[in-house]
Amino acid sequence: MARVLSGKWVRDEVLKECEPRVARLREIGRAPGLAVVLAGDDPASEIYVRNKVKACEQLGIYSEQHTPPATATTGEIIALVEELNSRDEIDGILVQMPLPAQVDSQRVLLAVDPDKDVDGFHPLNMGRLMTGRPGPRACTPAGVMELLRRYEIPLKGKRAVVVGRSDIVGKPQAMLLMHQHATVTICHSRTVDLPAVAREGDILVAAIGRPAFVTGDFIKEGATVIDVGINRITDRAVAEDLFGDNPKKMAAYERNGSVLVGDVHPRDVAKKAAAYTPVPGGVGPLTIAMLMVNTIDAAERRLTS
């Protein structure tokens, strides 16, 4: 039977290790500080930011939330970011995506001080990752690496395939795996014979943003499969196709009118993989945990250098 890799357990371990670091920073000066910029009225973003603020409260990290209106301009949000850049008590700045349609997201992200870029999205920090230099790493890929490390999944010399090439997950994930001596292939929607390429992976990371897209044809027998996707299914026929043999999932669908599924087909991965992350409860819990780590790292660099 395939081993289920729980992100909740890893998250709890990571946050437990953060507690003495926050306490030490308080002793030598002050708590770490995180500012979140949430513009507009995206419900998913609001929930995500609420969970980030809650994690800060649990660890004793100072946090504040800035909520420009949905009508905010690029210049107004950049002005807010620049003000946060100048404040000594703010160690990390997170600009929640997506921003309103009229805002130039790239200009906003470039305005964040790279040393306060706790999302790891600034081009300077992407360059630091590429060249193996210290700096904040994108939270979701960093969380995947923590999960692999703590479950003692071997990477050195292994073939790793990343399905998806986004700047947020796919590209940084590939670099982090390469830094741990895996041989990495990045593939995407235009890869010729994508299932055959994916089947080469001893480690398969799915981050393509399409529900249950990665089927058994993509999975090498005995592989470790990391499902980064999270998709909400509202169509009953699709829910029954994916979870018809899972009464718990179908009960959730009946209760909520929707059910979550990753980028990997849940039935296929359980049959073919040696180990895999569930959705929900796999990679998701680690993203916020690694944001806390990045914020504490930033505070330590600023307070102890």
Give the pLDDT score at 37. Answer: 96
Cβ proximity of 81 and 109 under 8 Å: no
Q: Which two tokens stand for residue 269?
A: 């991965």
For the chain, what percent of residues have pLDDT higher than 90? Answer: 93
Strand partners, 162: 186, 205
Would you call 249 helix, strand, or coil by DSSP? helix
> How many Cα atoms are found within 13 Å in the side-chain-facing hemisphere of 202?
12
Q: Active-site positions? A: 52, 96, 119
Question: Residue 287's closest CA among 140, 125, 86, 88?
Answer: 140
Output the pTM of the full model: 0.95
pLDDT digits (tens, 9 = 90+) for 103-118: 999 999 999 999 999 9
* Domain ranges across the chain: 29-117, 139-286
Q: Which own/partner pairs from 277-280 qualify as long-range (CB within 8 Å, at least 24 positions apart)?
A: 277/4, 277/5, 277/7, 277/147, 277/225, 277/226, 277/227, 278/4, 278/5, 278/6, 278/227, 279/227, 279/229, 279/230, 280/230
pLDDT digits (tens, 9 = 90+) for 190-229: 999 999 999 999 999 999 999 999 999 999 999 999 999 9
CATH homologous superfamily for 29-117? Answer: Leucine Dehydrogenase, chain A, domain 1 (3.40.50.10860)
CATH homologous superfamily for 139-286? Answer: NAD(P)-binding Rossmann-like Domain (3.40.50.720)
Same fold, 29-117 and 139-286: yes
